[in-house]
Amino acid sequence: MKFGPLPLSEARGAILAHSVALPEGRLRKGSVIGTAELAALEAAGIPEVVAARLEPGDLGEDEAAARLARALVPEGETGLRIGRAATGRANIFAEGPGLARIDAARIGALNAVHPMITVATVPPYQRMAERGMVATVKIIAYGVPEEALARAAAAGAGALGFHAPVLSRAELIQTRTDIPVNTAKGQAAIAERLSRLGVDLAPEHVVPHEIDALSAALAASEAEALFILTGSATSDLHDTAPEALRRAGGQVAHYGMPVDPGNLLFLGTLGAKPVVGLPGCARSPALNGADWVMERLLCGVPVTPADIAGMGVGGLLKEIPQRGRPREA
């Protein structure tokens, strides 16, 4: 692509790089200079313009953006929609609630191909609402070499996807101790979280903070996913809630996470059902580490101890004001 000042005698077919003020309105940046545009410029006494001219082997910005967006979204992917390319930009949207699948390595490789070829995305596993923007493809120049665009498309092929919710019914089982806890608040906070993914929460269920009572409640639940919020924080892998899960016939896979708020989380299964022991901060609607685990499980994304260990970078979240022991106490 050639870029720079052009006399009007050489400007036909070039792309206007900067808007030009005219006695009656203006010619906008990005306009292709044709007969009408030349006549208006000549009438205004403007002898030259700054413009871009594509060379053989170049692709225009809109075609390049559209091609790259199509390469990013795998064929048959139903969770994403590609918008119409304009001004060198093609946006990619979520078709419904769920989590964005982002191959960060592929996006990084794509962005290293040519400085005028760029893709920006939300973070991996970002929860999305319907019509939320997952990524934007932007061709910075008015055109790019087709060869570079092909290399970028190959580097980023299939880098975007979407995890829609696969579970629809969950239950929160809370425990009560001698110290009163607002269980309605916990129920409401979890219900709000689940509603964002279209998941129904069973009615409030509170049992004594005892292994037998909690174990029986877990075993009797007909929900597809189980969440536990105890009246006294789970402080060990063999505390009341993990032991209750084992007694119900389940398994505990992991305890603790390097996300704050959210450290006191445990993860397990009961048959095919995922079970999450929630930290007390889950009573607040504020983001905490449990959100990341719950959202993935509800969308069918496996969560391993290694996954949880990897959440530490970026895991220092905003402090919850009502926290019992603030970080800087």
pLDDT value of residue 328 = 67
217/244 Cα distance (integer angstroms):
9
274/159 Cα distance (integer angstroms):
28
Neighbours of 296 (CB within 10 A): 18
pTM of the entire predicted model: 0.91
Residue 81 neighbours by CB under 8 Å, 6+ apart: 92, 93, 94, 95
**Please, what sign has the CA dihedral across residues 228, 230, 235, 239?**
negative
pLDDT value of residue 265 = 98
Q: What are the pLDDT digits (tens) for 231-280?
A: 999 999 999 999 999 999 999 999 999 999 999 999 999 999 999 999 99
Give residue for tokens 């425990």.
175
The dotted CATH code for 58-163 is: 3.90.1170.30
137/80 Cα distance (integer angstroms):
14
pLDDT value of residue 273 = 98
* Contact between 196 and 129 (Cβ < 8 Å): yes
What is residue 184's three-state secondary structure?
helix
pLDDT value of residue 1 = 86
What is residue 278's three-state secondary structure?
coil
269/81 Cα distance (integer angstroms):
34
With CA atoms as reference, report the closest residue to 279 among 262, 295, 267: 262
pLDDT value of residue 322 = 63
What homologous superfamily does CATH list for 2-53? Molybdopterin biosynthesis moea protein, domain 2 (3.90.105.10)
Give the containing element (helix H, strand E) for 33.
none
Cα distances from 273 to residues 92, 116, 297, 298, 300, in angstroms, run 33, 47, 10, 10, 11
CATH topology of domain 169-309: Molybdenum Cofactor Biosythetic Enzyme; Chain A (3.40.980)
pLDDT value of residue 135 = 98
* Contact between 13 and 53 (Cβ < 8 Å): yes
- At 237, list the tokens: 């892998």
**Please, what sign has the CA dihedral across residues 144, 150, 155, 159?**
positive
Write down how long the chain is: 329
Q: What is the DSSP letter of 23?
A: T
What are the extents of the domains in the chain?
2-53, 58-163, 169-309
pLDDT value of residue 325 = 64
Low pLDDT (below 70) residues in the chain: 322-325, 327-329
Return phi, psi of residue 140, to 5°: -70, -40
